[in-house]
Amino acid sequence: MFLRDIISKLGGEAIGEVGRPLLGVGTVAGAADTQITFLANPKYRAALANTDAAAVIVGVNDRDVTSKPRIVANNPYAYFARAAQLFQASNVVAGGIHASAVIHAGAIIASSAWVAEFVSIGANASIGERVQIGAGSVIGENVSIGADSVIAARATIYAHCQIGHRAIVHSGVVIGADGFGFAADFSGSDGCWVKIPQTGRVIIGDDCEIGANTTIDRGAIDDTIIGNDVKLDNQVQVGHNCIIGDHTLISGCVGIAGSTTIGKRVMVGGAAGFTGHLSVCDGAIISAMTLVTKSITEPGMVTGVMPQMNHADWLKNIAHLRRLDKLAGAVNEIKKKGSAT
């Protein structure tokens, strides 16, 4: 693939041309002379002088930073991502259903879809064009999966859930398990937790990616809804009746308790937590390991974690924090005495 071929598909401005076809992408430091690299972070400008890459993707302000053949793009990092997709070996397979798959009555499977070994597809499920379903996956009854989606091996999609077009669902994902809903009844000596039936669905939009071992619970009554172009990392927990807006990105090990509404274009750092029944506005950025206990109403970065420090200093600071309420009370008393004199 030459620069002109990339430009014809992705746009941008080509300066110069490579002498032989490019075979892939690489980092500034690690690229081979058959690859194209990219410069998105200014701190790598100096390293660019020593790169073996045959060509470079640069931003508008860096168009003259190298004499190598290059593509000038408004967003070099996003351009690199799309270029990498062009080089990625096609994983499209011929349509067909493996002999070991179990297809229940009324399921509709497009002729271009591929169903691998030991897959179970429930009654009246609908599998769109060019969908790929990996070995050992379970697709429940009345599930709908849109065209060009990929369901990796051993994913489980419970009954009545819907997945849009071009989704990627990785291994171990569980979509539509019961939400954690119980009513307390301890009025008598034999009290217990009473299970609340979870009768909603999970509705996932187009162009979403769900990371390995992530779980998305079905709604208790209404549906759990994941918007378009949402990206969930590995081991994310989405509770029942949550709503996640379009283009939101959530990093690994985040826990979102039930009935949380997260807006559009929100970014959530790893291991953050949401206590539930709250909302997050469009454009919010939540730092890693932040515990969100109340609604966020203004866009911008929110942080709720104490940065790392020497362990002995941490112990001293925590000891002071434990006495902070008493200290505040003492300060208030001093203020009262001062205002009385």
Domain boundaries of the chain, sorted by first residue: 3-87, 155-252, 311-340
Which region, left, alpha or beta, applies to residue 156 given φ > 0 means left and ψ of -120 to 50 means alpha?
beta
Say which CATH superfamily domain 155-252 falls into: Hexapeptide repeat proteins (2.160.10.10)
Q: How many residues are present in the chain?
A: 341
Instruction: Supply the pLDDT for residue 233.
Output: 98
pLDDT of 341? 66
Which residues are paired to 279 by β-bridges?
A: 261
Please give the C-alpha separations between residue 75 and each of 10, 92, 255, 266, in angstroms, as whole numbers: 12, 28, 31, 20
Give CA–CA dist 257/60, Å, rounded. Answer: 43
**Is 164 exposed, middle or buried (CB count within 10 Å of its CB: 0-12, 13-18, 19+)?**
buried
Task: Output the CA angle 273-276-281, nearest 5 degrees.
Answer: 80
Q: Which pLDDT value is given to residue 92?
A: 62
240 catalytic residue (yes or no): yes
Fold for the domain defined by 3-87: 3.40.1390
Q: What is the pLDDT of residues 19-60, one digit of tens each?
A: 999 999 999 999 999 999 999 999 999 999 999 999 999 999
Marked catalytic residue, from 160, 165, 170, 240:
240
Per-residue confidence in pLDDT tens, the chain, 341 aa: 999 999 999 999 999 999 999 999 999 999 999 999 999 999 999 999 999 999 999 999 999 999 999 999 999 999 999 999 999 865 567 899 999 999 999 999 999 999 999 999 999 999 999 999 999 999 999 999 999 999 999 999 999 999 999 999 999 999 999 999 999 999 888 899 999 999 999 999 999 999 999 999 999 999 999 999 999 999 999 999 999 999 999 999 999 999 999 999 999 999 999 999 999 999 999 999 999 999 999 999 999 988 889 999 999 999 999 999 999 999 999 988 887 76
Q: What is the rounded distance in angstroms from the CA atom of residue 222 to the CA atom of residue 206?
A: 20
Distance (Å) of CA 300 to CA 58, 150, 286: 28, 34, 8
Tokens standing for residue 36: 């194209």
Q: What pLDDT sits at residue 70?
A: 98
Encoded tokens for 245: 């807006």
